[in-house]
Structure 1
Amino acid sequence: MKKLSLLVSFTLLSVALCMAQSPKSAAGAQKQTKVLIETEYGNMTAILYNETPQHRDNFLKLVKQGWYNGSIFHRVINRFMIQGGGQESKMNDPGYTVPAEFVPKYFHKKGALAAARKPDQVNPKKASSGSQFYIVQGQKLNDQQLDMYQKQTNRVISPERRAAYKTVGGTPHLDDDYTVFGEVISGLEVVDKIAAVQTGPGDKPVKDVKMKITVIK
């Protein structure tokens, strides 16, 4: 009985030590960098995913360099997305690409922060633009629409994705073709406001929608 008591005590002590250590470890593993995207229509806070490190690090490098400050959302399509990140014009990128980083659990729900890229015909590896990104607005979809999409693309929409597209909306046809490397966690209404601005040729806003991006510390 004494041996059994000692064994139980040792086990409980081990469990207690693990529980005391695990929150710290979990917090360290889950810590995500936040950025603030400021516009005249309001501000958005976004997190950058650790599971897409090349996109995260490249985006942070450009943010710290001030690359995005004063740049515009040059392509805006209501019920689809708002795109920006080039300097002076949509063709002015840093001059390099970032390898694709597709992570199944990250998809194009409303608020998704993803990297723009050139078409498959000239970019078969789906490498991302060095600086251009878009934020998904999309729209809510019902089961019939999602079933039709599955049939047309021969891609199965997981229960998790289906639930998100039905409740918050998004753009499922972009999934697994463009790298999603973050998401807006505050200020989704700003996406709606920018998506609703008047646009001209090339879906460019008639009045420039400028941005400033900084790292939240």
Structure 2
Amino acid sequence: MIQRLLFMVVTALFAINASADDADSPPALPKVRVETSQGVMEITLRPDVAPKTVENFLSYVDAGYYQGTIFHRVIPGFMVQGGGFDENLNRQPTEAPIVNEASPTLKNLRGTIAMARTNDPHSATSQFFINLVDNHFLNAGARGPGYAVFGRVTEGMGVADAIAGQPTGYRKGMADVPVTPIVIQQIRRIDNASE
């Protein structure tokens, strides 16, 4: 009888500790699935480091904004950029620009996703790029304010490499445009609970 009571107490304590651990553990990082005409990538986002950038990106994702946009700037050994133009290179309307959250914490390393922008550090809207190599010169402080990294490709980096291997040329005054459009079919959130 005492052994059974002791067993029940120990079991209850384990259950309490487990639930306390769950309550103390940080929330799972959000993930998105990027479906392209070249294949699928999974990206884990970092709102803990770039909260406004992730919020901005996910607002475009949730609105279905990226569906039908293309990777319009592809430079092997550097990066692939998309999220702002359709197949005919028509610029898509965007929301207001966001503040640049480039940080020494998240560097522009191979496989990271960062916000594209103009020379104005606070001009990023919908366009993003995936670093194909470590691009240290894009980091905050290297040559100015830097480019805000807000996540990493955690599955399917070979797709980004395949995109980089496509022939490119000039179209509508733009360089490094894939000859055959590389279409983003959709970007959607992945439910962490269903993994």
C-alpha displacement at 1:103, in angstroms? Answer: 2.7
Q: TM-score normalized by structure 2? A: 0.78
Task: Please list every run of 5 or more consecutive structure 1 residues that lacks an aligned counterpart in the other structure.
Answer: 1-15, 139-169
Work out whether residues 93 and 131 of structure 1, in 8 Å CA contact, stay in contact via their aligned partners in 2: no
Q: Which residue of 1 aligns with 2:117?
A: 117
Q: Which residue of 1 aligns with 2:4?
A: none
Q: Matched residue pairs, number?
A: 165
Tell me how large the CA RMSD over aligned residues is: 2.0
Alpha-carbon distance in structure 2 between the residues aligned to 1:90 and 1:106? 32
Alpha-carbon distance in structure 2 between the residues aligned to 1:174 and 1:118? 13
Q: Which residue of 1 aligns with 2:180?
A: 207
Question: 1:102-141 residue pairs with structure 2 within 5 A?
Answer: 102-119=102-119, 123=120, 126-138=121-133
Alpha-carbon distance in structure 2 between the residues aligned to 1:203 and 1:130? 21
Post-superposition Cα deviations, 1:32-65, rounded to whole Å, max 9, x if no partner, equal 1100001122100001112211111111111111
1:185 partnered with 2:154: yes
SS in structure 1 of the partner of residue 21 of structure 2: helix
Q: TM-score normalized by structure 1? A: 0.70
Post-superposition Cα deviations, 1:101-126, rounded to whole Å, max 9, x if no partner, equal 1232211111101000101xxx1xx1
Question: 1:151-190 residue pairs with structure 2 within 5 A?
Answer: 170-176=134-140, 177-190=146-159
What is the one-letter code of the residue matched to 2:125?
G
Work out whether residues 114 and 151 of structure 2, in 8 Å CA contact, stay in contact via their aligned partners in 1: yes
Task: Please list every run of 5 or more consecutive structure 2 residues that lacks an aligned counterpart in the other structure.
Answer: 1-14, 141-145
- Identity score, percent: 35
Runs of 4 or more, structure 1, over 4 Å off, are 16-20
What is the one-letter code of the residue matched to 2:128?
F
- 1:216 is matched with which residue: 177, 190, 193? 190
- 2:62 is matched with which residue: 64, 84, 90? 64
Structure with the bigger percentage of strand: 2
